[in-house]
Structure 1
Amino acid sequence: MLCALSAVLLVATIHVDALTAYLATTPGGLDAVTAIALGSGANVPLVLAIQALRIFVVILTGPPIAKLIARVA
């Protein structure tokens, strides 16, 4: 649900097509998203940039969130 809302926000703010926005915000492997973007004619540099940003955010925020959950549980 959050991915779909992010895609809608991308379409509204930077005026990209819906497929590019969806591929940029969809969870999953970077290799699969890249292959689909190349085959579908989406804006590949934008998709890769946002996917790379997503990966870095997950790597940076994952351990602190896991520690918080472990403390609470």
Structure 2
Amino acid sequence: MDNMPKLLIIAGIVLIVIGAVWAFGGKWLQFGRLPGDIVVEKENFTFYFPIVTCIVISVVASIVMYLFRLFK
């Protein structure tokens, strides 16, 4: 098999797992509501910037990519 079909299959599996965790684990995993995320609420305006959530996702993605390269 070529590399592209393998990559698409792996990407699909990863998206399914992420979707399942998001759907069923959303009550317990409070991504997007971590301490350090910026929330500004005014009368008719709400600004939300999940900076800490972005950092956590980036670190986890970097570790996963490192492990993929390590075992390749």
TM-score of the pair, normalised by structure 2: 0.39
Q: In proportion to residue count, which structure has more helix?
A: 1
Q: In proportion to residue count, which structure has more strand?
A: 2
TM-score of the pair, normalised by structure 1: 0.38
